[in-house]
């Protein structure tokens, strides 16, 4: 018995998906640039700009990458799900 694939629900869903790169995609690209270029640049330059270890060092070395990773993960999930 041969199954007709034109009425398959997976095929129908694939036709409905619009593979356009919209605002969510650009926000994700911006977050990737910030996460992979800006945040490491701040971490690299920070010891040369300031002298010694102070309270702001905790933010720069621990919290800045943490917030960057959480934001990147949330944006990736948001960009890949349909609304």
Model pTM score: 0.64
Q: What is the pLDDT of residue 34?
A: 92
Q: Which of 74, 41, 76 has the alpha carbon at shortest distance from 60? A: 41
Give the start-to-end residue ranges of the domains of the chain.
21-80
Residue stretches of the chain with pLDDT short of 50: none
Instruction: Read off the pLDDT of residues 53-63 as tens digits, 9 standing for 90 and up.
Output: 677 787 788 88
Closest CA to 73 of 45, 43, 32: 32
């Amino acid at each position: 018995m041969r199954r007709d694939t034109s009425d398959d629900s997976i095929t129908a869903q694939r036709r409905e998906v619009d593979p356009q790169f919209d605002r969510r995609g650009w926000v994700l690209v911006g977050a990737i640039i910030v996460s992979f270029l800006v945040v490491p640049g701040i971490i690299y330059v920070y010891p040369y700009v300031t002298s010694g270890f102070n309270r702001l060092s905790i933010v720069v070395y621990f919290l800045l990458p943490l917030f960057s990773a959480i934001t990147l993960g949330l944006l990736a999930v948001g960009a890949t799900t349909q609304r």
